[in-house]
Structure 1
């Protein structure tokens, strides 16, 4: 079966048509930003977002010192967020806004990528479906790097397609450098490079069986992918050594077990929405089957002139490895090495799933039917979207309520009244205390004497502060009139 799809040559766009080509990507991108940014300020901050705040609100030397001991895998993201907070300051909304912007950019980039591999209708539908996926609407309102990984994956795939089609060395050099940058940004993005290797092999096999325009082009491109990937790997050796040394920080990940299948088929793409997952995976499967059937028919017929063959990987050859290789890679590594699979780590496979779903929806052809399916997807997504914007949506965290209570009660005391606070432990996070609430909502705790504080987090070279035992510092309470106790009924929940 050939995985190489033929495409009609595109006509040269007129000057008036060129701006219109950008309307679809820009509209979908803007929609993605609005959907993910809307109400993103409502959910309480939770532990992982507090880690972002702790890392990025310290000085540059302090951040560099911290990355030498913990969270090097997030170092580039922390650097970007540090610059962002220097520009706009920190609030829960500004913490999450970059993820919404990245989501919009990923949606626009998906439209542009899919349009190069299929029709304009499929491309726009792919971008639209992407911004409806529950995993993306979650990631776009999260103060972590997951939404940006989807953007990186689409951008890297676009460079891969351009390098393959052009055959020019500068594109393959760009691919290798960008692959290294993406992996530094999020280590698991190395798996998209592996997926491109599978795509390259499938396209090479298709050339051998089909009627390609440039014999031997796929062989050269496969070799250049290997050289670019190997070069990126060499560049990444120092980074990989640091990441391996810090691997204990993912010890919270559960081993492969009975809940893993739910993680793969529901949580990974359709976060907490099993009904949408059933519909979504059906569309993904139908889209893949349709592309495979079309490719097979064309391969057998061999009636299309050679100049009508696409000189690069097909949509099917790109999207299937994009979904399967990272997922299987993490599952196999989790079984053979140590637990590494977490559904949110594979947020970057969502554009590929959206593209296959779009193929299935576009096959309906009639606009009315397409509109009905999109409306059904919206109806499936909406209740869970609103749940993602509820006050305790982030792992049932109620930190904002705690901060609001402290702020309201402190307002009843004279400003001159000396007040102290004692922070308790946080469940499932041995090195942290409920001071994470003060990190997330600093205004509510401003001016309180932290009775047990030994070394502030920014000075420890780690994410969190060090503390004295309470019985060693009770003298700090002597001159205080009010003492706040913040124990650990704060629900941090599990991770998804």
Structure 2
């Protein structure tokens, strides 16, 4: 009786599978990143945090260093990177956001690589694709801030941890921590999988030691940097509960793959959970600070659906659930590419000011930090007389400049016929500082309201001394 010949290998099929899991997730991330990149018609939109990136990254390196010694040191490496980008190509919103698109594509490739190492090519393509499709990932893929880059660094550090390439692991994770220091929470998540490894312990010590200088500087700036934050809201806790429930349900489907679970579950739950717990004492939590944690659920989706048998045909509920999510996913993805998806729109504010301001008009920012709305539109800002400004942001090595004392602001207003005031939306709490109160009191006492325009996240009010000034 003859034995059956061994099954032939098909190298072409292997090449196709490799190309699929390596190529599809980053390609999808690029397509989604470029879709609606400008966020809105007519030149697009930009919110105030992105405006900070634009105006700070355009400062000379020496001035940038002076600023970081006083504020925003946590974003220093990112600003330096964007300074280089703008020096090579000052391409407006595209130059601002393309680094985040590229970082998200690399992160999706990294999630696929981690999943491939844990469970093979099928899990890899599903996990990388799931990561690219997650709406928060899409959101920060199109934002001129550091969060997509941080996620990319953490994901690839996870891969290097699994490969036990400890020097490279320490370098890549440290890069992520210097882009935003809360990436260090990923170190604790990695410890759940690698704490027995001497290489991980030495790498962890090196990362913490090299991060200490930034931590010391940013700790001095914490009140100024994060003073606007409150403790996690019930919405934050609810979102974390939904995440935890999702992770538990996905993990139950792959509970026999313990190594994979030790990687994915802590990465999903520990960074946001720890930051929220700390924020009960020191309010530091914002979901985007731990965006990289979404690699954990993406990995679990890949592990669950990428198992040898996948989801059995008789198990209808996963497919029904996936179909039901298509509609809200499509709506959410489309909404993320509109100006309404962000808190404000500095380009719309600048456009409203251009339409209403006259030559010689003065401008007041109420509160002063709203000067950011015009700093990235110098063509609109330069012709206006900034009545309260004492020193410009560049001269004062600050984000928004310094303002005159209340008495001098009143004196300058006394000789001004028309003022364009940039205000927070109705219902926002009024700043109690004397200089801010002086602006409000002087406008109420000596001016009449000529017009009030609602813009996304802002109000543009024009005040005049007389009816003729309003006409």
Matches within 5 A, 1:78-477: 78-89=79-90, 91-163=92-164, 171-201=165-195, 219=196, 222-248=197-223, 249-256=225-232, 258-265=234-241, 284-293=247-256, 314-335=259-280, 337-362=281-306, 363-364=310-311, 374-395=322-343, 397-408=344-355, 418-426=359-367, 432-433=369-370, 435-468=371-404, 472=408
Shift of 1:262: 2.3
Q: Hey, what does 1:210 align to over in structure 2?
A: none
Distance 1:13 1:183, change over 3 A: farther
State the SS of the aligned residue for 1:130: helix
Matches within 5 A, 1:12-31: 14=11, 17-18=14-15, 21-31=18-28
Measured in 2, the distance between the counterparts of 1:467 and 1:141 equals 33
TM-score, scaled relative to structure 1: 0.74
State the SS of the aligned residue for 1:115: helix
Structure 2 contact 108–128 (Cα < 8 Å) conserved: yes
Q: Hey, what does 2:435 align to over in structure 1?
A: none
State the SS of the aligned residue for 2:208: helix
State the SS of the aligned residue for 2:229: coil
State the number of aligned residues: 413
| Structure 2 residues not aligned, in runs of 5+ | 1-7, 426-454, 459-471
Structure 1 contact 179–229 (Cα < 8 Å) conserved: no
Distance 1:329 1:12, change over 3 A: farther
Shift of 1:376: 4.0
Shift of 1:324: 2.2
Structure 2 contact 30–101 (Cα < 8 Å) conserved: yes
Of stretches 231-240 and 104-113 in structure 1, the one that deviates more from structure 2 is 231-240
Shift of 1:81: 1.1
State the SS of the aligned residue for 2:369: strand
Shift of 1:340: 2.0
Q: Which has the higher contact order (CA 8 A, sep 6+)?
A: 1
Q: Hey, what does 2:441 align to over in structure 1?
A: none
Measured in 2, the distance between the counterparts of 1:130 and 1:260 equals 21
Structure 1 contact 361–373 (Cα < 8 Å) conserved: no
Measured in 2, the distance between the counterparts of 1:12 and 1:175 equals 35
State the SS of the aligned residue for 2:341: coil
Q: Hey, what does 1:41 align to over in structure 2?
A: 38
Q: CA RMSD in A?
A: 3.2
Structure 1 contact 182–189 (Cα < 8 Å) conserved: yes
Partner deviation per Cα, 1:149-168 (whole Å, 9 max, x = no partner): 221111110111111xxxxx
State the SS of the aligned residue for 2:39: coil
Structure 1 contact 421–450 (Cα < 8 Å) conserved: yes
Distance 1:31 1:235, change over 3 A: same
State the SS of the aligned residue for 2:339: coil
